[in-house]
Amino acid sequence: MAGRAMNAERKIRVLIVDDSAFMRKVIGDILGADPSIDVVGRARNGREAMDAINGLSPDVVTLDIEMPGKSGLEVLRDIMAIKPIPVVMVSSLTKQGANETMQALDSGAVDFVTKPSGTISLDMDKVGDELRQKVIAASKASLRTSRLHIGLATKILPPPPIQSRREAMPRRLEMLVIAASTGGPMALQEVIPELSADFPLPVLIVQHMPPGFTSSFASRLNERSKLTVLEACDGMPIRKGAVIIAPGGYHLIVEKKQMNLVCRLTETPPVRSVRPSADVLFTSVSEVVGGNILTLVLTGMGRDGLDGTRLLRQKGAYVIAESKETSVIYGMPGAVTGAGLVDEVLPLYSIAAGLERVSKQN
């Protein structure tokens, strides 16, 4: 009994890696304010980081992306190659910082937080709650193997059995909508590039990211995909062959203009603390398009997408959720699955094929 009680109260052990002593102190103070977090070490470079990881066995590492000598990206790759543990990147709000952050997520980082005002941020407290939440979420993350291993899984594993609760699909699917958060960038890079050039539905995506990062992510995804991937702008037509990603800081909704569907961007308040919100997009789609929708909920922290999926499902939408076995964080797909709103539960490596199959059964 005592052993179980001690285990239940065990704190999340965090290592902070930043070349700035000031930032190590500030980040440590922010994390230390949460009683569930224990900052067990601080490192100023890659060598010290690897020594601390081996000696302290932290549960989570916060890693500055911009460091002299060996960069944060290089340190991350060392961690993933030698002793994989959840890493939350600490990035700057610059174009270069956005590009490097996308590379970090691609290399295995669980999530990232942006420094509000550059390398030395005196106002780091502005993102204090976000940093604590993401470190706690990262401690629960299921680290997948590399993209290569996931890709190989598509070739060596048989497709999972179809778990659909329905015999018939919606009569005429008009759109695919996707919700993703923590772990989503890597998941989307497994799904979207595998969709065929003749995929019959326009695609709208809400991926939780701050302003300035979704453009870089869309460009990166576009380079790898047969479909055209774009960051949404106000008035953008919604058409077959396009994958449209909601921009950070804006809600994406759908509007019918004459006989065509277009994107609209709004700065209405965040929903469930996020903007863009999958619930906002899904609700808009249910109102404007109805139930002829293919819905996908991928890995992510929280419950965004649950209310919108419920509305879509009530109107007849077909819903697929990522399985727990491949989700970095099972919060979002777990919420819709637990609510009984899902027609199929698929592992990440089978989702693209599932989307193709469902979309072409009309």
Active-site positions read 181, 208, 304
For 325-356, give the DSSP string. TT-SS-HHHHHHHHTT--SEEE-HHHHHHHHH
Structure tokens at 172: 């005429």
Calculated CA dihedral for residues 5, 8, 10, 16, nearest 10 degrees: 180
CA dist., res. 116 & res. 113, Å (int): 9
Structure tokens at 293: 């929708």
Which own/partner pairs from 192-195 qualify as long-range (CB within 8 Å, at least 24 positions apart)?
Answer: 192/221, 192/224, 192/225, 192/227, 192/229, 192/243, 192/352, 193/221, 193/224, 193/225, 193/226, 194/352, 194/353, 195/225, 195/226, 195/227, 195/352, 195/355, 195/356
CA dist., res. 135 & res. 132, Å (int): 5
* Residue pair 163/347 in contact by the 8 Å Cβ criterion: no
Which own/partner pairs from 32-38 qualify as long-range (CB within 8 Å, at least 24 positions apart)?
Answer: 33/128, 33/132, 34/132, 34/136, 35/11, 36/11, 36/12, 36/136, 37/11, 37/12, 37/132, 37/135, 37/136, 38/11, 38/12, 38/13, 38/14
